[in-house]
């Protein structure tokens, strides 16, 4: 059998691992444990040649005798005996420099670093294209779920209308705790920290930033467009109140942190924020630290993907799957590889953004009636502002004032905000009005 | 850029389509509608060169002026101007001959024909290997869901412990109708026929045979083993009674037609049959004609895939995804392609079967007490046979006799059958005892 001109070797794929933290040690463990099986799947051995770690002594303890550990990561990414660099350090400074240097030295890169790709993906992918090397990142989104492969290859024949997902396990764990145990956000965050689901600084997770990094990748894969992190409208779950989770339930919905990308003609609305999803949808049943993503294609219809969104071996599963693919892809010309974002870079179109408040969806409102006003006053004002209410539920409040939760028909967020202003100025409500989008998943 | 020696062409991938029924017309429509997008994803155009159909006049009407329609399928599969044959005729006689001839003429094959692959896959894949051509079949299992790609590539680093799925839309539609509307099997089947979800002869669907065809493929992909359709223990849903759906619900479960493959040491138990799944699992929420598959990997943990299991464009989505992959794979040497079943044929091990009744799972029993005996008599006899009961519910019966539904702790099916015999012989129960497996999905 003839081999491609680029690499005549039937020898092992030689891997250098950057970082031996949670993910790195998972990659090391998985390659050791399932090495024979992985080699059968890949068609040749995948050989861990060297590990670079900050704490060399500790890393040597973790890695055992089999694999040399070095402290100088730069030596590893320039090592001529390494074919592919696995970057699982995280962050955007050191990781970026190492990845760019690896590419400059003609090495393929596998990374699980969503922040790096969302913020510097254009630069990295351009450099990779210039050097004919692969940048693979299945581990960067909803790690245990092969969603990159599904969007890029499995659904390749589809015009994607929209996708929506729960892609941050920490915030989903917190919302699930709040709903199931009736606790506040602060108490649930405390519990998430205690169980190791949340970092000491949980900002990236609970403020929606991590979800937005992943959404940038998902949207680019789905629509065949350039990465556009800066176009994402991002909100987190710090202000979510238990009462809203409960009211959502009574209105036939569940409150989740949803990352969504939806095409409206030639424009795409990208958004991360707390939202209500129908209680009967599978998305409503994505609980705890799990991730779930729904994709609407024009041929496949709706498909849904569910699995762990974090974890050592879970992320390693995706990283090693990328290595298995590379074992073949490294030997063929670049044109015969699947492009990183699904289409060749020169064919990717820029994403024309659509501001979130222009998008028409149902909305959830929770408000407190001002003394002397009734529900009819609220409904009347909303109707005057062309906002139709389709469901309602009373809210038990600690003070005597009457609380009401409402579900509106589809309307743009801007119109909803205007109507909320009218209610307040008309003296119909008192205090703040809670307002959340409803993702109907249709 | 250099191309591989096998195909220096940057020209279109030239497709011949066998059959213009439900799936064939979907493939034709999708290639027309999304042709530009598909070409961008594939890196070159995918060109439908010719269609072979039995009813040429009707096919010309469907296909329009763009693509020539011929009546002689044999001419199409031997046409030197065709690179890949898409077989969507179905059945195992004509389809088999055409596929084998296409392969003998050096053509790649894309098929959605699960029966053909489950029954004749070994012969077909051996011939394809000998001629260095691809046989692709994403459309053969849970069509809109890219599960073949997920098992073969996305989860490539995992030792798969088990998988379980609802992979027949017709029978799932019938069970969903029965549960939601409280109708009998016969009435639900009638409704499925009326709505076009069931064929005039629904035997393949409701007797579990279609699910078994798909399970043969799934198990082979998951475990890297040869196809072993004949080892599958198959039962259907004709005997499922409404009362069992209702009792399952009261015991915290749902009754579904489940195809499952589970590794026990070096052996694998393959089974299709009605079974109870926990009401809180996503699988319990796979309703109507949808399909859902759960896979347990040793690294990824549990991942779940959900989508339409049938339909014209839904199947076409999978078939064209295979063509997109072929647009690249056709140009590279065989060793740089993903093998059809995930590992090279000479590395696939035969599947050592484990009979279903040897497998230990919880069981559901529904029985009618004999006059004069009580629940304690039943529990006593079961305990004597080492069967522990973990939940129970009364069953309303039309006659005065008392009905009871029970859930046992895990026990082999053979032990359960023995205990049922003891109950009857001891005069504790009267009439038949309904017995169903519980798939705990753990």
Which residue in chain B has the smallest CA separation from A295? B307
Backbone angles phi, psi at A101, to 5 degrees: -70, -40
Same-domain status, A269 and A187? yes
Quote the CA–CA distance of A18 and A97 in Å, as a whole number. 12
Closest residue to B30, CB basis, from A146, A157, A314: A157
**Residue holding tokens 């820029």?**
A350
Which residue in chain A has the smallest CA separation from B334? A1
Same-domain status, B336 and B367? no
Of residues B335, B326, B338, the one with CA closest to residue B41: B326
Of residues A116, A308, A174, A24, the one with CA closest to residue B300: A308
Same-domain status, A117 and A78? yes
Same-domain status, A267 and A179? yes
Chain B nearest-CA distance from A46, in A, is 11
Which residue in chain B has the smallest CA separation from A285? B282
Asked if residues B36 and B47 have their Cβ atoms less than 8 Å apart, the reply is: no
User: What average pLDDT is seen over chain B?
Assistant: 94
- DSSP reduced 3-state for B70: strand
Burial B121-142 (b: 16+ CB within 10 A, else e): bbebbebbbeeebbbbbbbbbb
Tell me what the mean pLDDT of segment B71-95 comes to: 97
pLDDT in the model for residue A57 = 95
A342 touches chain B (CB under 8 A): yes
Of residues A290, A287, A223, A224, the one with CA closest to residue A260: A223
Token pair in block for residue B297: 């990997």
**How sure is the predictor about A4, in pLDDT bands with cuts at 50, 70 and 90?**
very low
Closest residue to B301, CB basis, from A280, A314, A334: A314
Same-domain status, B259 and B327? no
Please calculate the CA angle B339-B340-B346 and round it to the nearest 5 degrees.
60
Quote the CA–CA distance of B152 and A95 in Å, as a whole number. 30
% of residues, chain A, pLDDT over 70? 97
% of residues, chain B, pLDDT over 90? 88
Give me the CATH number covering residue A328. Answer: 3.40.50.720
B5 in any annotated domain: no
Q: What is the CA radius of gyration of chain B?
A: 24
Q: Which of residues 204-243 of A touch B (CB under 8 A)?
A: 224
Q: Which of residues 15-74 of B touch A (CB under 8 A)?
A: 26, 30, 33-34, 37-38, 40-43
Q: Do B224 and A37 touch (CB under 8 A)?
A: yes
Tell me what the mean pLDDT of segment A336-362 comes to: 90
Tell me what the mean pLDDT of segment B234-262 comes to: 97
B369 in any annotated domain: yes
pLDDT digits over B385-417, tens only? 999 999 999 897 677 678 999 999 999 999 999
Taking the CB of residue B316, how many other CB atoms lie within 10 A of it?
32
Known catalytic residue: B214?
A: yes
A7 in any annotated domain: no
**Residue holding tokens 């198990």?**
B219
B2 in any annotated domain: no
Give me the CATH number covering residue B279. Answer: 3.30.360.10
Inform me whether the pLDDT recorded for A356 exceeds 90.
no
- Strand A84-87 relative to strand B135-136, pairing: unpaired
Q: Do A224 and B41 touch (CB under 8 A)?
A: yes
Tell me what the mean pLDDT of segment B166-191 comes to: 96
Mutate which of B25, B34, B293, B299 to test chain A, going by most A C-beta atoms within 10 A?
Answer: B299
Of residues B327, B38, B111, B307, the one with CA closest to residue A157: B38
> How far lies B188's CA from each of B174, B206, B210, in Å?
5, 11, 19
Q: Which of residues 256-315 of B touch A (CB under 8 A)?
A: 280, 282, 285, 297-308, 311, 313-314
Taking the CB of residue A442, how many other CB atoms lie within 10 A of it?
9
Inform me whether the pLDDT recorded for B2 exceeds 70.
no
pLDDT digits over A133-160, tens only? 999 999 999 889 999 999 999 999 999 9
Asked if residues B219 and B262 have their Cβ atoms less than 8 Å apart, the reply is: no
pLDDT in the model for residue B1 = 34
* Segments of A382-428 assigned E as strands: 389-395, 403-408, 411-412
- Cα–chain center distance at B408: 28
Choosing from B107, B114, B149, B214, which is the catalytic residue?
A: B214
Token pair in block for residue B252: 């915290």
Chain B nearest-CA distance from A221, in A, is 11
Inform me whether the pLDDT recorded for A103 exceeds 90.
yes
pLDDT in the model for residue B402 = 83
Closest residue to A4, CB basis, from B4, B30, B155: B4
**How sure is the predictor about B360, in pLDDT bands with cuts at 50, 70 and 90?**
very high
Whole-model pTM?
0.95
Angle between helices A375-384 and A413-425 (to 10 degrees): 130
Q: Which residues contact A61 (CB under 8 A, 6 or more apart)?
A: none
Taking the CB of residue A195, how many other CB atoms lie within 10 A of it?
11
pLDDT in the model for residue B8 = 47
- Strand A301-308 relative to strand A290-297, pairing: antiparallel
Mutate which of B300, B327, B347 to test chain A, going by most A C-beta atoms within 10 A?
Answer: B300
Which residue in chain A has the smallest CA separation from B146? A154
A335 touches chain B (CB under 8 A): yes
% of residues, chain A, pLDDT over 90? 88
Q: Do A153 and B321 touch (CB under 8 A)?
A: yes
pLDDT in the model for residue A5 = 38
Same-domain status, A246 and A285? yes
User: What average pLDDT is seen over chain A?
Assistant: 94
Identify the DSSP state of A252.
T
pLDDT in the model for residue B58 = 95
Asked if residues B407 and B437 have their Cβ atoms less than 8 Å apart, the reply is: no
Which residue in chain B has the smallest CA separation from A337? B328
Same-domain status, B303 and B320? no
- Strand A84-87 relative to strand A108-111, pairing: parallel
Inform me whether the pLDDT recorded for A183 exceeds 50.
yes
Q: Which residues pair with B367 in a beta bridge?
A: B404
Same-domain status, A126 and A161? no
pLDDT in the model for residue B400 = 67
% of residues, chain B, pLDDT over 70? 97
pLDDT in the model for residue A82 = 98
A8 touches chain B (CB under 8 A): no
Quote the CA–CA distance of A347 and A340 in Å, as a whole number. 12
pLDDT digits over A204-222, tens only? 999 999 999 999 999 999 9
Chain B nearest-CA distance from A335, in A, is 7
- DSSP reduced 3-state for B159: coil
ipTM, 2 dp: 0.95
A246 in any annotated domain: yes
Specify the number of domains making up chain A.
3
Same-domain status, B330 and B297? no
Same-domain status, A88 and A118? yes
Same-domain status, A80 and A177? no
- DSSP reduced 3-state for A362: coil
**How sure is the predictor about A351, in pLDDT bands with cuts at 50, 70 and 90?**
confident
Instruction: State which residues form the domain around A181.
Output: 150-308
Inform me whether the pLDDT recorded for B3 exceeds 50.
no
pLDDT digits over B194-239, tens only? 998 888 889 999 999 999 999 999 999 999 988 889 999 999 999 9
Q: Do B157 and A38 touch (CB under 8 A)?
A: yes
Asked if residues B301 and A311 have their Cβ atoms less than 8 Å apart, the reply is: yes
Q: Which residues contact B267 (CB under 8 A, 6 or more apart)?
A: B352, B353, B354
Asked if residues B14 and B81 have their Cβ atoms less than 8 Å apart, the reply is: yes
Token pair in block for residue B107: 């053509």
Same-domain status, B185 and B228? yes
């Amino acid at each position: 059998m003839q081999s491609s001109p680029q690499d005549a070797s039937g020898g092992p794929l030689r891997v250098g691992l950057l970082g031996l933290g949670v993910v790195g040690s998972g990659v090391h463990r998985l390659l050791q444990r399932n090495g024979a099986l992985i080699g059968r799947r890949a068609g040749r051995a995948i050989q861990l040649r060297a590990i670079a770690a900050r704490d060399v002594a500790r890393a040597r303890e973790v890695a055992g005798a089999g694999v040399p550990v070095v402290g100088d990561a730069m030596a590893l990414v320039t090592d001529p005996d390494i074919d592919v660099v696995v970057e699982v350090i995280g962050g955007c400074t050191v990781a970026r420099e190492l990845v760019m240097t690896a590419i400059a030295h003609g090495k393929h890169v596998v990374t699980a670093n969503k922040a790096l790709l969302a913020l510097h993906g254009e630069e990295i992918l351009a450099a990779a294209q210039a050097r004919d090397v692969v940048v693979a990142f299945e581990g960067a989104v909803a790690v245990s779920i092969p969603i990159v492969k599904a969007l890029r290859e499995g659904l390749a024949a589809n015009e994607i209308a929209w996708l929506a997902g729960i892609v941050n396990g920490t915030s989903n764990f917190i919302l699930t705790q709040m709903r199931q145990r009736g606790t506040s956000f602060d108490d649930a965050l405390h519990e998430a920290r205690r169980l190791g689901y949340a970092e000491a600084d949980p900002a990236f997770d609970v403020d929606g930033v991590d979800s937005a990094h992943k959404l940038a990748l998902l949207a680019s894969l789905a629509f065949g467009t350039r990465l556009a992190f800066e176009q994402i409208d991002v909100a987190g779950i710090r202000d979510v109140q238990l009462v809203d989770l409960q009211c959502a339930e009574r209105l036939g919905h569940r409150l989740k942190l949803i990352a969504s990308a939806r095409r409206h003609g030639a424009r795409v609305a990208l958004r991360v924020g707390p939202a209500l999803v129908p209680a009967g949808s599978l998305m409503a049943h994505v609980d705890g630290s799990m991730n779930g993503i729904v994709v609407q294609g024009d041929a496949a219809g709706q498909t849904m993907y569910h699995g762990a969104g974090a974890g050592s071996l879970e992320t390693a599963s995706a990283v090693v799957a990328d290595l298995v693919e590379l074992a073949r892809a490294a030997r063929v010309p670049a044109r015969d590889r699947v492009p990183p974002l699904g289409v060749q870079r020169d064919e990717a179109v820029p994403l024309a953004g659509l501001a979130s408040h222009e998008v028409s969806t149902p909305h959830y409102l929770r408000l407190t009636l001002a003394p002397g006003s009734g529900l009819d006053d609220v409904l009347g004002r909303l109707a005057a502002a062309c906002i139709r209410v389709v469901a309602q539920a009373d809210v038990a409040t600690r003070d005597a004032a009457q609380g009401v939760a409402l579900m509106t028909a589809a309307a743009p967020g801007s119109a909803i905000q205007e109507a909320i202003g009218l209610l307040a100025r008309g003296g119909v409500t008192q205090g703040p009005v809670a307002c959340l989008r409803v993702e109907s998943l249709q």
